[in-house]
Amino acid sequence: MAKKNRTPLFDRIFKPEHIVLDNGHTVDRPKSRTPLILVAFLIIVFISMQTTNFNLPRLISRIGQFPVILGQIFTPNLHYFDKVIPLLIETMKMSIVGTVVGCIIGLPLAILASSNINKNKPTLLICRFILSILRSIPTLIYATVFALIFNLGAFAGTAAIAIFTLSIVAKMLYEAIETIDMGPFEAMQSFGATTLQSFWTACMPQILPQYFDNCLYCFEMNVRASSILGYVGAGGLGILIRERTGYRQYHDLGTILLTLFVVVWAIDQLNNWIRSKLS
Amino acid sequence: MIEFKDVSKTYPNGTKGLQHVNLKIEQGEFLAIIGLSGAGKSTLIRTINRMIDITDGQLMVDGVDVMTLKGKELRKFRRKIGMIFQSFNLVSRSTVIKNVLSSDVPDMPWYKTMFGIYSKEQKIKALEALDKVNILEKAYSRCDELSGGQQQRVALARTLNQNPSIILADEPVASLDPIIADIVMSDFARINKDLNISILINIHHVDLALKYATRVIGIRNGEIVYDGPTSEVTQEVLNLVYMGKAVPKSTDKIEIEGMVMNNG
């Protein structure tokens, strides 16, 4: 019991200010903790600078290179566009197939991972564990591994995107499933439907808009992600990005980035339009 | 016939839902179950289709010991028991007819369920069920466009669509206004007479219970304290059921509203 009322260590070192009012009532104003937090913060920043070899003079002396490269990127070499197109199409194919496959596999996993539908604790926990492992691995790692397993090329990238999509979609979806109205599900159970029948008929209409929304969001992310996967040899625009930065052809890189920007923007607009139709 | 033989239910947290309940309900009876909130009304009703497991005694429904059922047998058994809920439990985003058709799902192959394919006969049957509760014109509206009373009638149609021999209703009129509540209760009464379906209703409106039910069960702390015909329910009986607390006189008001109903 005595432990509960013990004054914090900080207040025992830095004694609170004792204020006495005119009428004799007293109150303790604890010393501000801000200076201590500030000191701790500065120490952390200093240690981080040491370990990352941050060098301010070099930053200042080399900053002049920044506008040079940016300038080249912002004056894209439009003749290079012809070479971008085929790989852009490959990137799009990878993200479309990867997203569709991931979203389809993600759905049953989401159902298994919803505590209100799946009453079987072991399968629930195993399913969630697998999902969190899948989610914690970056797409680039999947792409590297799959490129080794399935050979270099678009297939490895597609598989990487599919795995990543399913882990994200399943996570977002099971959280949606856990917040739905379970009344219709209960009604279905009461007249003899199986868990799966009840889920499909009573719960699916409730989560469908959210599900499509998640799928579209993933597609948007995947277009961006898949353009970088070529960096590790998994097909798509990334191959060109690596090659052009390697040759320091920043005008060409500018063309690639410009194309990518236009495509991502277009997809974003398309998604917004579909979303407005869904709700 | 439903028969409770010394049935008890103790919840895992120690709460006694039912204590030594003995009941015999013949086919075609219209039972109103009254009692305070938490007295065990919902427990009593839900043990019949085994949405809740009993912990003691024996419960026979049409000659079947309910507690011996499991998996497929249990689901088949539940096909002939309809259930109505206070909050309707409809898929509010779906159309009325889709909700009614959902009670056909347990008998359908998975691919038809998956794509929501229903046959012409099923659709006609569902429309007929909607017609029985006078809401046919709303068949293709979305459920969330309907009022509470209409939604409860859709739920009733969904239950009729499964051709039950028993309907369990858990506070079916608790979230409805008095006039709509009266209409929904008269729907129950009509179905009970026309189709000879046993109806068990949990209800807080004593006046409605007395107006429509043929038999009243009073339950207090999980024990049955009254079981008899509606005509023999007196103020003493109500006092016993509601622990001696006077039942507020909502009866007078309802009678006035009943008159409005008759005139209109």
CA distance B245 to chain A (A): 33
The full set of domain ranges for chain A reads 83-278
Mean pLDDT of chain B: 86
Query: Quick check: B70 contacting A, CB < 8 Å?
Result: no
Would residue B156 count as lying in a domain?
A: no
What average pLDDT does this structure show over B164-178? 90
* Set of chain B residues whose Cβ sits within 8 Å of the Cβ of A193: 75, 102, 105-106
pLDDT at B249 exceeding the cut of 60 = no
In a domain, B97, yes or no: no
Mean pLDDT of B242-251: 61
Nearest to A200 among B78, B103, B114 (CB): B114
pLDDT digits (tens, 9 = 90+) for B206-227: 888 888 999 999 898 888 888 8
pLDDT digits (tens, 9 = 90+) for B22-43: 898 989 899 999 988 888 889 9
Distance between B110 CA and the closest CA of chain A, angstroms = 8
Residue B214: give the domain boundaries. Answer: 1-80+166-174+196-264
Position B200 pLDDT exceeds 90? yes
Place of tokens 């300038």: A71
The whole-number pLDDT of residue A47 equals 93
Q: B residues 185-244 near A, CB within 8 Å?
A: none
Q: Measure B73 CA to nearest chain A CA, in Å.
A: 9
Pairing of strands B215-220, B198-202: unpaired
- For residue B132, pLDDT beyond 90: no
Tokens for A50, please give them: 């040491």
State yes or no: pLDDT of B173 exceeds 50: yes
Q: Which residues of chain A have pLDDT under 70?
A: 1-5, 279
> Are B106 and A186 inside 8 Å of each other by CB?
no
Query: Considering CB atoms only, which of B90, B94, B162 is closest to A191?
Result: B162
pLDDT at residue number A5: 63
Whether the CB of B94 is below 8 Å from some CB of chain A: the reply is yes
Q: CB distance A192–B106 less than 8 Å?
A: yes
**Is residue B182, in this structure, part of any structural domain at all?**
no
Structural domains of chain B, count: 1
Please enumerate in sequence order all residues whose Cβ is within 8 A of that of B189, keeping only pairs 6 or more positions apart, or say none.
B30, B212
Nearest Cα of chain A lies from the Cα of B106 at a distance, in angstroms, of 5
**% of chain A beyond a pLDDT of 90:** 28
Confidence of residue B263 (pLDDT cuts 50, 70, 90): very low
pLDDT confidence of residue B33? 92
CATH of residue B73's domain is 3.40.50.300
Note the pLDDT of residue A76.
83
Does A201 sit within 8 Å of B113, measured CB to CB?
Answer: yes
Residue among B82, B106, B162 minimizing CB distance to A197: B106
What is the secondary structure of A45-74 as a DSSP string?
A: HHHHHHHTT--HHHHHHHTTHHHHHHHHHT
- Write down the pLDDT at residue A14: 82
**DSSP code for B138:** G
B211 and B185 Cβ atoms separated by less than 8 Å: yes
In a domain? residue B49: yes
Give residue B159's pLDDT: 92
Judge contact between A185 and A202, C-beta under 8 A.
yes
Nearest Cβ partner of B93 from A187, A192, A205?
Answer: A205
Tokens of A207: 């989560």
DSSP-derived pairing of the beta strands B16-25 and A17-20? unpaired
- Residue in chain A closest to B94 (alpha carbons) equals A205
Return the CATH fold of A83-278: MetI-like fold (1.10.3720)
Residues of A in contact with B76 (CB under 8 A): 192
User: How far apart are alpha carbons A12 and A85 in whole angstroms?
Assistant: 69
Question: Of A193, A267, A188, A191, which Cα lies nearest the Cα of A226?
Answer: A267
Amino acid A197 reads Q
In a domain, residue B124? The reply is no
**Hey, is the C-beta of B247 within 8 angstroms of any chain A C-beta?**
no
Say yes or no for a CB contact (<8 Å) between B155 and A187. Answer: yes
pLDDT band, residue B245 (cuts 50/70/90) = low
